[in-house]
Structure 1
């Protein structure tokens, strides 16, 4: 899969952060030396904004990155990171979404392998429109009506993008068995959602396993996260709880979440048994 602007941006900002830490400089010191605001440095390192080629070259020189091949590689990545605005970056969405969700959508379309770990509901990218709306409407007291509508539409567009015949990612999904019983939006909505998952399994778009109640101790309660791996060896973790979310790149946290996923995957029903459970529950809701 071709490199994406978000993966390129990630490569640049991680290189900047590593170089700053190697130099022993703080973000405030970088801001002062470059005559930038502290918020600009923080936003560049967090991935919220891109850095121009004209800003990158003097910054790398200040940070001690002088090897020509490395500098040119990072400048090329910075150029790629600024290519065309995606739909989720337009004001109608960006202003109503968290910075982490905006970054996530760039990462998920570039990932080669994705692991979804959900103990409460079906992961957002795999949700049917009715299921997504039922979930988003539970946040009506915390999010504005406009924000709810933007997130519902966002999930529809993410699903459409995922279902594109040009997409070829390895998707692994772990669901707690309770998800099959939780009638989000009512019986008909849940049935449609389960049947959609069965269609994805039948088309070999996802590999899905269900964690039975009897091994509930394997599930860190209420945990929801996803791990995305890229062609360049990079990896990110996205975690969310209620309306709070974050992108995590700490190697130790990534390792721990990978281990949790693998442990639960091994302890869950296999794919055939899991598909059978999905079908049984869908049929029972008719």
Structure 2
């Protein structure tokens, strides 16, 4: 473990070590739960990253899984200690308001060096203005309570604020469908114009690169996803976040991450170039803001 290991990286390291050791011994999660006298859900949540594991639980688990090398054990125990540090998304106002996958996304997002978005219907949550986020979340009044909606909006704003405060900021590559330039999501032209203006400024600042997937290009028919790199931009350091409606998940499977990255690369290469896309976003922002004055 590096001395500068961050909570999200530490949690991921521990849970993958547990999962890989269990698979190496051909144990099922049920067998681990029975041996440790835990519930099956506890094992599943530890391996999925939904919860952290205490040092007192980790030591006997590692022994059961055959990890006895003292240096390895102590390194993983230290990672478990780091992973349990509380962050802003652990605050009471967000408790039970955000999904486990969303909390993991926020943790990875706070530490990612490179983020690649594919959003065919709207702007990524971390780039959304308050009015735009309200328009997006307003579509889910039948699935979410008003308290959940408000918490998710505030979480998006906090994510953006935290990203803007990072030094250095991650490099963000956002692939958007052309329809995003037109869809007002029920909040009016001005809200969309302000959203586009914010994105345009981020592009000018240099940390965001956006490309537009034009209407005349074929669409793969899949939902939104993000690939985040925790360190160098290599598959071993990548995690995938996918969502559909109010359901979302974090994916650590290398083959599935590679499949999504290959698709993203093909679409990125086929999209309108970054310079022209930036012009389209800025021009559309001016059109909307001028039309609504």
TM-score (norm. length: structure 1): 0.95
Residue matched to 2:119: 118
Runs of 4+ in 1 over 3 A off after TM superposition: none
Residue matched to 1:107: 108
Gaps of 5+ in 1: none
Q: Tell me if structure 2 keeps the 8 A contact 1:94–1:102.
A: no
Q: Distance in 2 between matches of 1:8 and 1:94?
A: 22
Alignment length (residue pairs): 283
Superposition deviation, residue 69 in structure 1: 2.2
Q: Distance in 1 between matches of 2:166 and 2:41?
A: 40
Candidates 200, 204, 207, aligned match of 1:205: 207
Residue matched to 2:171: 170
CA offset digits 1:118-145 (Å, max 9, x no partner): 0000000001111001111111121101
CA offset digits 1:136-167 (Å, max 9, x no partner): 11111211011111111111111111111524
Deviates more, 1:36-45 or 1:185-194: 36-45
Q: Distance in 1 between matches of 2:18 and 2:61?
A: 8
Residue matched to 1:221: 221
Superposition deviation, residue 221 in structure 1: 2.2
- Relative to structure 1, the CA distance from residue 222 to residue 24 in structure 2 (aligned partners, 3 Å threshold; closer, same or farther) is closer
Superposition deviation, residue 282 in structure 1: 1.3
TM-score (norm. length: structure 2): 0.93
* Mapping 1:48-127, distance limit 5 Å: 48-83=50-85, 85-127=86-128
1:247 aligns with 2:272: no
Residue matched to 2:286: 283
Q: Tell me if structure 2 keeps the 8 A contact 1:3–1:110.
A: no
1:41 aligns with 2:43: yes
Q: Distance in 2 between matches of 1:94 and 1:13?
A: 22
Gaps of 5+ in 2: none
Q: Distance in 2 between matches of 1:244 and 1:279?
A: 32
Residue matched to 1:22: 24
